[in-house]
Amino acid sequence: MIDKPLITIGITSFNSEKYIKNALDSALNQDWENKEVLIVDDFSSDKTIELIEEYIKNYDIFRLFKHKKNFGYAEAINTIIKNSNGEYIAIFDSDDRSVKERLKKQYARYISYKKEKKTQNIICYTNRRVINNQFFKSSNFAYAIGRKENEPHGKIVADFIFGIYFPEKNKNWGVFGSCTMFIKKSTIKKIGYFDRFFRREAEHDFAIRASFKNFHFIAVDEPLVIQYKTKSQYKSKKNALKYSLSLIQKYKKYLISKNSYYGSIFLTFTRNFFVRKNKLIAYFFYFLALIFLPYDQRLLRIKNSKLIKNIIKTKIL
């Protein structure tokens, strides 16, 4: 008798013919026996669906759902959530590889933390290796939030995402990443589904709402995912800025209550122009952000010599 809970592996795909087999192999080869794999294709126009159908025809654990139009990543994850049977859900990206021990290690981390903190309000991530244009450098690691002791929880995480909380050393900060997310399905009801409006930033919106419900953000301190960065319209820097600003507008009342609305806007421009390697404009917006941020946050940043670097660390754009 299998005593391990059923885990749903969710894979979203859109024009993923070059990489989809990597994700399917990763899901099939997980050393967690009690699993199902849900694949949601978001109206691909290439050979993605044909490749998936050919791959899964001999395996009962796979189920394929086809969107009749392109809704975006967030709605694809919602389709996974709504159709999953697992007690837990793990999200795999179509252009990534997950090591075979990923489910086992994330489940163990979740259970250990649950017992320690006596809460199920947990989102578990993992570190990942990031490969750009098929090249990997030793520095290209995305270190996840909560990967070590002093894992952040509550509204302070929302402030961290908005950039209005200057990270202090007493918490273990890092990046998020829906492609590494592991969560108990029943707790998603407390947060709500992913907001389908956000073709970028949906994972941060989800994390913000989770933080308002006092969720804990933890991770496995190992690179259990190899993330292959691929270019697309929705991953452009222009779209990153558009949806980052939309995120601020969604939570405008909250940011106003923190006296940080305009500060958050200018920090968003800072990040965007720094990523574009336009440091002069980035510093200009950072100067504006300092003017509009609360005094205590302004003082912390002024005292720190690596101003821009610390702001950039709040999010991967």
pLDDT at 302: 77
If one counts every other C-beta atom within 10 angstroms of the C-beta of residue 45, the result is: 9
Strand partners, 89: 8, 183
pLDDT in tens, the chain (317 residues): 357 999 999 999 999 999 999 999 999 999 999 999 999 999 999 999 999 999 999 999 999 999 999 999 999 999 999 999 999 999 999 989 999 999 999 999 999 999 999 999 999 999 999 987 655 454 588 999 999 999 999 999 999 999 888 766 678 999 999 999 999 999 999 999 999 999 999 999 999 999 999 999 999 999 999 998 766 544 556 688 999 999 999 999 999 999 999 999 999 999 999 888 899 999 999 999 999 999 888 887 777 655 555 555 555 43
Whole-number Å distance between alpha carbons of 133 and 296: 41
Name the phi and psi angles at 191, rounded to 5: -95, -40
| Domain ranges within the chain, ordered by starting residue | 7-229, 236-312
If one counts every other C-beta atom within 10 angstroms of the C-beta of residue 287, the result is: 12
Residue type, 71: F
pLDDT at 314: 53
What predicted TM-score, i.e. pTM, was given to this entire model?
0.92
CATH class of the domain whose range is 7-229: alpha beta
pLDDT at 137: 53
Whole-number Å distance between alpha carbons of 174 and 158: 13
Whole-number Å distance between alpha carbons of 89 and 148: 22
Q: Which two tokens stand for residue 266?
A: 């200018």
Contact 272, 284 (CB under 8 A): no
| CA distance readout (Å), 225 to 37, 67, 101, 177, 222 | 17, 26, 10, 11, 9
pLDDT in tens, 163-208: 888 766 678 999 999 999 999 999 999 999 999 999 999 999 999 9
Q: Mind spelling out the 3-state secondary structure of the chain?
A: CCCCCCEEEEEEECCCCCCHHHHHHHHHCCCCCCEEEEEEECCCCCCHHHHHHHHHCCCCCEEEEECCCCCCHHHHHHHHHHHCCCCEEEEEECCEEECCCHHHHHHHHHHHHHHHHCCCCEEEEEEEEEEECCECCCCCEECECCCCCCCCECCHHHHHHHCCCCCCCCCCCCECCHHHCEEEHHHHHHHCCCCCCCCCCHHHHHHHHHHHCCCEEEEEEEEEEEEEECCCHHHCHHHHHHHHHHHHHHCHHHHHHCCCHHHHHHHHHHHHHHHCCCHHHHHHHHHHHHHHCCHHHHHHHHHCCCHHHHHHCCCCC
